[in-house]
Amino acid sequence: DTEVTQTPKHLVMGMTNKKSLKCEQHMGHRAMYWYKQKAKKPPELMFVYSYEKLSINESVPSRFSPECPNSSLLNLHLHALQPEDSALYLCASSQSRAETGANVLTFGAGSRLTVL
């Protein structure tokens, strides 16, 4: 299995809703990432988990809450979002620095989020 699977593909939510984005990989990768991508822009790093521990938080607002329940799963919990948070959210995984080949990101297809 060489895929990163993201669900849902599309999500529409109100500013008072609570929702979650999910990401799953079975490649044995120990590093997982959340990126935010606005239209016609490059992906912006939000969070990095390494060996299920949060290693990077790029000053993301607390209305985004990441969670890594195990080495295969990564969640992004969403609460009280703003319309400007509407974007494509990409999950990625890679081997960790301690392993060989620790430099290639494998991306999921993304979750398109619309906040009304």
Partner 1 sequence: AQTVTQSQPEMSVQEAETVTLSCTYDTSESDYYLFWYKQPPSRQMILVIRQEAYKQQNATENRFSVNFQKAAKSFSLKISDSQLGDAAMYFCAYRSLYRDDKIIFGKGTRLHILP
Which residues contact partner 1 by CB under 8 A? 31, 40-43, 45, 48, 50, 55-56, 88, 90, 92, 97, 102-110, 112
Nearest approach, Cβ of residue 105 and partner 1 (Å) = 6
Least Å distance between CB 78 and partner 1? 19
| Pairwise CA distance, residues 36 & 45, whole Å | 7
If residue 50 lies in a helix (H) or strand (E), which one and from where to where?
A: strand 44-50
CB of residue 16 to partner 1, shortest distance in Å: 28
Give the Cα separation of 33 and 48 in Å (integer).
Answer: 5
Q: Based on CB atoms, which residue is closest to partner 1, 4 or 81?
A: 4
16 vs 100 by CB, closer to partner 1 = 100
62 or 100, CB closer to partner 1? 100
Shortest separation between residue 75's beta carbon and partner 1, angstroms: 19
* Residue matched to tokens 């979750």: 111
Nearest to 69 by CA among 88, 89, 49, 55: 49
Which residue, 28, 48, 34, is CA-closest to 100? 28
